[in-house]
Amino acid sequence: MAEISRRSLMRATLLVSGAAAIASVGSVGAATADDAVLASWNEGDTRKSIIDFVTAVTTDGSHDFVAEDDRVAVFDNDGTLWTEQPMYVQLAFILDRVKALAPEHPEWASTEPFKSVLAGDFAGVAAGGMKGLLELVAVTHAGMTSDEFTAIVSDWIKTARHPKFDKPYTATVFQPMLELIDYLKANGFKVFIVSGGGIEFMRPWAEAVYGIPPENVIGSSIKTKYEVRDGTPVILRLPEIDFIDDKEGKPVGIHKFIGRRPTAAFGNSDGDFQMLEWTTSGPGKRFGLIVHHDDADREYAYDRKSHFGALAKGLDEAPKRGWTVVSMKSDWKDVFPA
Amino acid sequence: MAEISRRSLMRATLLVSGAAAIASVGSVGAATADDAVLASWNEGDTRKSIIDFVTAVTTDGSHDFVAEDDRVAVFDNDGTLWTEQPMYVQLAFILDRVKALAPEHPEWASTEPFKSVLAGDFAGVAAGGMKGLLELVAVTHAGMTSDEFTAIVSDWIKTARHPKFDKPYTATVFQPMLELIDYLKANGFKVFIVSGGGIEFMRPWAEAVYGIPPENVIGSSIKTKYEVRDGTPVILRLPEIDFIDDKEGKPVGIHKFIGRRPTAAFGNSDGDFQMLEWTTSGPGKRFGLIVHHDDADREYAYDRKSHFGALAKGLDEAPKRGWTVVSMKSDWKDVFPA
């Protein structure tokens, strides 16, 4: 109970816009297809596939039963738990940070990739490729202590707003996915985020928004270093990539951080393909699910050709691999918390 | 309950010698200085310091109260949870593996560091330094899939025996520390291992022996790679160091895997110094503890000059840093499970 009330409090504090519709975490009977479960999902094959899977692995004596210790669910973040259009939220953070830091760096006005960022010239930023992006990451994510970076992210996420929906990014999370996380947790699953995004960018708010604690958040990282500064120990963030938790990196990250193969995996783009492949090729009952963004009215419609979260191979292979594909438009009653 | 009975079963299965005295995980009232708690610890300042700390951080309304979500305890493994003499258990594994693999490698009879290993010439092995050790790690820990390595470790740990105590290594764990882990868990702590040893060497048995699941085991690692072999996805272990989780690496590992500063840290050697320093320099109530091996009769007596688990700086600085130093000889009623 302490966990739930604290989380509610944190959510309420964070979602300053008042859009803090909190998914109910109740004493949901294991695997009962109760109406109170997955309330924002329309009745149909998609919702049924989730409930059937959870019922199968949690029913003691069932052929597909999975011991509670072994129930592990992994979720991608961008595009799976919150919106990733018109750009990854972390990229919006990077652009805002460059603007905020620009007064201390007059040379940026004439140096790429900063010049393009400051001019709002995204084609110019894109032209800088990976090298340019890493330079942007270096100046916005490194050169400070871990505590300082956490404070920067926490301050930004409290005030930054989504350009289309005009609400905090933490309110552009998907209500049906919050309910899914809660449903899995109520059924004994350990729930992890496995994201291509920055691990330290997600950890400051993931517990309040998703109910997923820092130690269950896996993502891309830069190197850090421990040192004692004037008698005070700090973790210093270095301008060097440590690990890219995307595509083939996701099973590697899962193996490194969790140490066992998940029972269920949830994603939305081809960056999640290997995570779903690794999860669902394990022995015993497994579950893979892809969120398909086909709802231009309520969120966005995109797949094969998107700059962010492109989905092609996953769509093509889902049927033969037995993965559930969610139609945001048809399967979700609501998209965002009310 | 499911968790406890499964764990008991795993322990019983693993500890084939029958030495499976399982620390009781009961409904220990939070922070009560009950006689049933820490039963293998003698009455005195050491035991009292642990109970006082736990009482302080778990008593709602107390100045030192720590919310349950934030209660994180980290334990070193070698020398803290099990014996590390006459050599690290993982080194015994490496030596056994080299011997087991030698028939397939006739060239090892004349090539260092293998020649020295096969001759039982530890001075020769030591003369090879870090380079030689990494070669031994490469041939014994890499070049197979993660599942294959898990099976190798699991098979070895079932049969290998400690040379002095003539029992399985999994029975040379410290009963008072098992009780301490259980006491912390019963009081809402999340318990992690943070070891200089190999993460994949510990994970196959840590849950059965300590009740610590794979995702809560942090250690040194080699790189891995995801690939699909003839249609079957595997995690392949590569002969390249990924991360050394020792000394300054321990706070880095804690930050990477857990994402928050622990409330309590438990170690035994100067390899744990920075972990204790990082933990106990955080704001609010913190706890640091060092196991001092001063019991030549029941285990081993060593500190400043040991080849394994040397302890000097920790002993010198513990008093001024307020860290508890455990005298194995005086503070522990029993050392190993009965």
- At position B68, the amino acid (one-letter code) is E
Closest CA to B200 of B173, B222, B178: B222
Out of A69, A232, A256, closest to residue B6 by CB: A69
| Helix (H/G/I), strand (E/B), else coil: A224 | strand
What is the per-residue pLDDT for B248? Answer: 98
- Say which residue the tokens 């966005």 belong to: A300
Q: Which residues of B touch A235 (CB under 8 A)?
A: 251-252, 255, 278
Among chain B residues, CA nearest to A66: B2
In angstroms and rounded to an integer, the radius of gyration of the C-alpha atoms of chain B is 20
**Cα gap B97→B163, rounded to integer Å:** 17
Residues of chain B contacting A, Cβ within 8 Å: 2-3, 6, 67-69, 72, 146, 190, 192, 199-200, 203, 207, 213-217, 221, 224-228, 232-233, 235, 242, 248-252, 255-260, 274, 277-278, 281
Which residue in A has a C-alpha nearest to residue B258's C-alpha?
A215
CA distance A273 to chain B (A): 12
Q: Which residues of A touch B199 (CB under 8 A)?
A: 256, 259
Q: Which of A215, A227, A260 sits opposite B258 (nearest CB)?
A: A215
Distance of alpha carbon B252 from alpha carbon B232, whole angstroms:
34
B3 contacts A207? CB cut-off 8 A:
no
pLDDT mean over A103-123: 93
CA distance A69 to chain B (A): 7
Rounded Cα–Cα distance for residues A312 and A218 (Å): 24
CB burial class (10 A; 0-12, 13-18, 19+) of residue B37? buried
pLDDT digits (tens, 9 = 90+) for A300-332: 999 999 989 999 999 999 999 999 999 999 999
What contacts 24+ positions apart, CB below 8 Å, involve B242-247?
Answer: B242/A256, B244/B196, B244/B220, B245/B194, B245/B195, B245/B196, B245/B199, B245/B218, B245/B219, B245/B220, B245/B221, B246/B196, B246/B220, B246/B271, B247/B196, B247/B271, B247/B273, B247/B274
Q: Where are the alpha helices (DSSP H) in chain B?
A: 2-14, 45-58, 89-101, 114-118, 122-127, 129-141, 146-159, 175-186, 199-210, 249-257, 273-280, 313-321, 328-331
A4-24: per-residue pLDDT in tens? 344 444 444 443 333 333 333
In chain B, domain spans: 2-86+169-229+243-331, 89-159
B277–A233: do the CB atoms touch at under 8 Å?
yes
CB contact under 8 A, B225 and A68: no
Cβ distance A235 to B252 less than 8 Å, yes or no, reads: yes
Residue B259: its chain A contacts at CB < 8 A? 199-200, 203, 214-215, 217
Tell me which of A255, A276, A320 to substitute to probe the interface with B (most B C-beta atoms closer than 10 Å).
A255
Measured between alpha carbons, how far is B153 from B93 in angstroms, rounded to an integer?
8
Residues B210 and B190: beta-carbon distance below 8 Å: no
Whether A248 sits inside 8 A of B235 (CB atoms) is no
- Enter the CATH code of domain B2-86+169-229+243-331: 3.40.50.1000
Nearest CA in chain B to A1: B68
Q: Is the pTM of this model over 0.80?
A: yes
CB B96 within 8 A of CB B157: no
- Partner-chain residue, chosen from A2, A72, A224, that has the shortest CB–CB distance to B252: A224
List, for residues A55-105, the tens digit of each pLDDT value. 999 999 999 999 999 999 999 999 999 999 999 999 999 999 999 999 999
User: From CA A173, how far away is CA A336, in angstroms rounded?
Assistant: 6
A337's enclosing H/E stretch is none
Compare all CA atoms of chain A with the CA of B207 and give the residue at the minimum distance.
A69
Cβ pair B224:A281 closer than 8 A: no
Euclidean distance between CA atoms B71 and B64, whole angstroms: 12
Of B265, B266, B271, B267, the C-alpha closest to B310 is B271
Would you write out chain B's pLDDT as a tens digit for each of its 338 residues? 333 344 444 444 443 333 333 333 333 344 455 668 999 999 999 999 999 999 999 999 999 999 999 999 999 999 999 999 999 999 999 999 999 999 999 999 999 999 999 998 888 888 888 899 889 999 999 999 999 999 999 999 999 999 999 999 999 999 999 999 999 999 999 999 999 999 999 999 999 999 999 999 999 999 999 999 999 999 999 999 999 999 999 999 999 999 999 999 999 999 999 999 999 999 999 999 999 999 999 999 999 999 899 999 999 999 999 999 999 999 999 999 99
Burial of B231 (0-12, 13-18, 19+ CB in 10 A): exposed
Q: How far is CA A199 from CA A68, A154, B31, B190, in A?
A: 26, 14, 34, 20
What is the structure's pLDDT at B22?
Answer: 32
Enumerate the residues of chain B whose CB falls inside 8 A of the CB of residue A221: 256
- Which residue in A has a C-alpha nearest to residue B251's C-alpha? A226
Q: Contact, B223 vs A242, CB < 8 A?
A: no
Pairing of strands B232-243, B217-229: antiparallel
Distance from C-alpha of A323 to C-alpha of A73, rounded to nearest angstrom: 15
ipTM of the complex: 0.90
Q: Do A207 and B69 touch (CB under 8 A)?
A: yes
**Tell me, what's the pLDDT at B129?**
86
Q: Is the dihedral of CA B140, B145, B150, B152 positive or negative?
A: negative
**What gap in Å lies between CA A206 and CA A178, rounded to an integer?**
11
Q: What is the pLDDT of residue B34?
A: 61
Count of residues in chain B = 338
Q: Which of A203, A207, A226 sits opposite B248 (nearest CB)?
A: A226
Q: State the CATH class of domain A2-87+168-331.
A: alpha beta
> A with B: how many residue pairs have Cβ under 8 Å apart?
104
Strands A232-243, A217-229: pairing kind: antiparallel
Alpha-carbon distances, residue A28 vs A20, B47, B209 (angstroms): 21, 41, 32
Residues A232, B3: C-beta atoms closer than 8 Å? no
Closest residue in chain A to residue B220, using alpha carbons only: A256
Residue A76 distance to chain B (closest CA, Å): 17
Report the percentage of chain A scoring pLDDT > 90.
85
Q: What per-residue confidence (pLDDT) applies to B171?
A: 98
Q: What are the DSSP E strand ranges found in A199-277? A: 217-229, 232-243, 264-267
Tokens of B31: 């922070």
How remote is the C-alpha of B13 from its chain's centroid?
A: 20
Q: Which of B256, B261, B279 to mutate to test the interface with A (most CBs of A within 10 A)?
A: B256
Residue A251 and residue B233: Cβ atoms within 8 Å? yes
